[in-house]
Amino acid sequence: MSAPDAIVIGAGHNGLVAANILAEAGWDVLVCEEQSVAGGAVATAEVIAPAFRTDLFSAFYPLAAASPVIRRLDLAAHGLRWSRAPAVLTHLLPDGRSATLWQDPAQTAASLATFHLSDGDAWLRLTAQWERIGDRLIDALLSPFPPIRSAAGLARQLGMGELLRFARMAAQPVRRFGEETFRGVGGPILFAGNALHADLPPDGAGSALYGWLLMMLGHSVGFPVPVGGADSLVKALIRRAESHGAQIRTGAQVASVQVNGGRATGVTLQSGDHVTARRAVLADVAAPSLFEDLVGREHLPVRFVEDLANFQWDAPTLKVNWVLDRQIPWTDADARSAGTVHLGVDMDGLTDYAADLSTRRIPTRPFVLLGQMTTADPTRSPAGTESAWAYTHLPRGLRLKSRQLDAHVERIEARIEAHAPGFRATVRARHVQAPADLQAYDRNLVDGAINGGTAQLHQQLVFRPVPGLGGAATPIDRLYLAGSSAHPGGGVHGACGSNAAHAALRRDAFGGGAKQLIRADLMRRIYR
Ligand SMILES: Cc1cc2nc3c(=O)[nH]c(=O)nc-3n(C[C@H](O)[C@H](O)[C@H](O)COP(=O)(O)OP(=O)(O)OC[C@H]3O[C@@H](n4cnc5c(N)ncnc54)[C@H](O)[C@@H]3O)c2cc1C
């Protein structure tokens, strides 16, 4: 393909979603991926032992299963099958109690009622509200900002008073939301732990919305995993894109984006090859890298470059993968059924952990997110064994030495051992991914950031990646930000890639030139 219509830089799931949409619309699409394998932070390998499949990054996909973007691609027709653990998520409290999210609302209600009798009903009220507004809300969250149509539908559905109350809930810190909604500690800790799947601390504004969203998705679609490994999702995306004629070239690092007269016209590869793009360049690339390294400041408004200097990364991640001789011997029965297990801290402990991350102290009591992959999908390792991982975050800006990382791995394992005596004896082998290892595999995961930049309120919506129009368009005509640095941010939902692809299609459609003039004028006002 000498001059494709579109070049997509990066074959993360967002790049592949964009390629699917453009190829389906009849465009010639070339995807350039620098690694030897496509998928970015959706990857599986037998890194520890044969027949033990390890998801190297993301593993549970409630956002993908609920995303209208991914649903519309009908990946089942291209080989994707989902599998689920019996229980969605268990949070193990330091005092030995546990709270468990099940897809069956009555089971979750029963778990929360062990903390306070009224908390089961509180959960049932939340799930009933979700049944009314869930679909519209997902649409609103994953569309380009502002999501006028779905927000209007939501307003009609809820009425003014309920809409205002819902907006207030969404803006709350998740700790406050927990206090207002539940009387016991089980409900609040489940919501707060979910908010920390993004980097949203219990006392941070807006953390209630993210915690609430993941809890509701856990209830409605579970935390599913692709049968065989996370890479089954990527393989399905590739098969579908190729069936529409897209080309995916691995081992092709893009070194720069060519800009002529304020318009993106193609890319230059690290090999020195130039490829011209006739209609658009879409970048599944972290915002700072796209604009500073690939485009170059000289092509950007000064004010935009200044805003980009304030771009905030999310916290680095330390991940440990294990091959286990048998299931983790949790003393808590629910934890033995859960795909995801949270442990290490209670609500105050979560706040302490978040404070440690902010104040650059290595948390002595880390919050641990653990995945039991064979429990979620029996194909991940031989019967009776477990392929498991856990991760926790570290403060940004500390360059930890290997002995400090080892000590932290030891802290993680000690926390698990406390809830599962005999855990260490089940470990046949371990594999550690330090922040630098995550970045070495996927340069978007800068210092082990998992979200393409903080998900806190000041960098969401029209503030993502910098104050602007909240869409995929950039100050360069026909260049679109298609990765998780763009609204709506991290997670495997495909919305960033979809928004970019649709923006490129609209730009090229009848009337696209006039709209571009209006957009360029707005950008000039924002960045002058
Ligand atoms: C440890 C970890 C756990 C996570 N857990 C979950 C989870 O359970 N569920 C969930 O929904 N999300 C999870 N996430 C977040 C989720 O994986 C990411 O938000 C998502 O995969 C980002 O997708 P993307 O397509 O935007 O970018 P990426 O997946 O980062 O893909 C970008 C691709 O672009 C390539 N690239 C970059 N620059 C260039 C260049 N110059 N030239 C060529 N190629 C280039 C990279 O090599 C990479 O393949 C997790 C992330 C991590 C790291």
pLDDT single digits (tens) 103-136: 999 999 999 999 999 999 999 999 999 999 999 9
- CB neighbour list of residue 14: distance below 8 Å, 6 or more residues apart: 40, 284, 482, 483, 484, 494, 496, 497, 500
| 391 within ligand 1 shell (Cβ under 6 A) | yes
Average confidence (pLDDT) over 245-273: 97
Nearest CA residue ID for atom 7, ligand 1:
58
- Structure confidence by residue, pLDDT tens digits, 209-223: 999 999 999 999 999
For residue 107, how far is its CA from the centre of ligand 1 (angstroms)? 34
The tokens for 327 are 């299931």
pLDDT for the residue numbered 1: 61
* Distance (Å, whole) CA 232 – CA 238: 10
Average confidence (pLDDT) over 293-307: 97
| 28 within ligand 1 shell (Cβ under 6 A) | no
CA distance from start to end of the chain: 39
Q: Distance between alpha carbon 131 and the CA centroid of its chain, in Å?
A: 24
Average confidence (pLDDT) over 156-180: 94
Nearest CA residue ID for atom 34, ligand 1:
10
- Structure confidence by residue, pLDDT tens digits, 26-49: 999 999 999 999 999 999 999 999
- Structure confidence by residue, pLDDT tens digits, 60-70: 999 999 999 99
Average confidence (pLDDT) over 322-346: 98
For residue 383, the SS3 value is: coil
> pLDDT at residue 175 above 90?
yes
> pLDDT at residue 388 above 90?
yes
| Beta-bridge mates of residue 100 | 90
For residue 43, how far is its CA from the centre of ligand 1 (angstroms)? 9
- CB neighbour list of residue 329: distance below 8 Å, 6 or more residues apart: 420, 421, 422, 423, 426
| 41 within ligand 1 shell (Cβ under 6 A) | yes
* Number of the ligand 1 atom closest to the C-alpha atom of 485: 26
Average confidence (pLDDT) over 385-411: 96
Q: Name the residue of 238, 270, 444 whose CB sits within 8 Å of the most ligand 1 atoms, as the mutation to test its pocket.
A: 444
Average confidence (pLDDT) over 260-274: 97
The tokens for 24 are 């389906």
- CB neighbour list of residue 180: distance below 8 Å, 6 or more residues apart: 172
For residue 100, which amino acid is it? T
Share of residues in the chain with pLDDT > 70 (%)? 100
| 35 within ligand 1 shell (Cβ under 6 A) | yes
For residue 240, how far is its CA from the centre of ligand 1 (angstroms)? 19
| 17 within ligand 1 shell (Cβ under 6 A) | no
> pLDDT at residue 154 above 90?
no
Helices and strands, counts by H and E, the chain: 20, 19
Q: Would you tell me how many other CB atoms lie within 10 Å of the CB of residue 515?
A: 13
For residue 482, how far is its CA from the centre of ligand 1 (angstroms)? 11
pLDDT for the residue numbered 148: 85
For residue 510, how far is its CA from the centre of ligand 1 (angstroms)? 33
- CB neighbour list of residue 27: distance below 8 Å, 6 or more residues apart: 4, 5, 6, 279
- Structure confidence by residue, pLDDT tens digits, 72-87: 999 999 999 999 999 9
For residue 29, how far is its CA from the centre of ligand 1 (angstroms)? 20
pLDDT for the residue numbered 87: 98
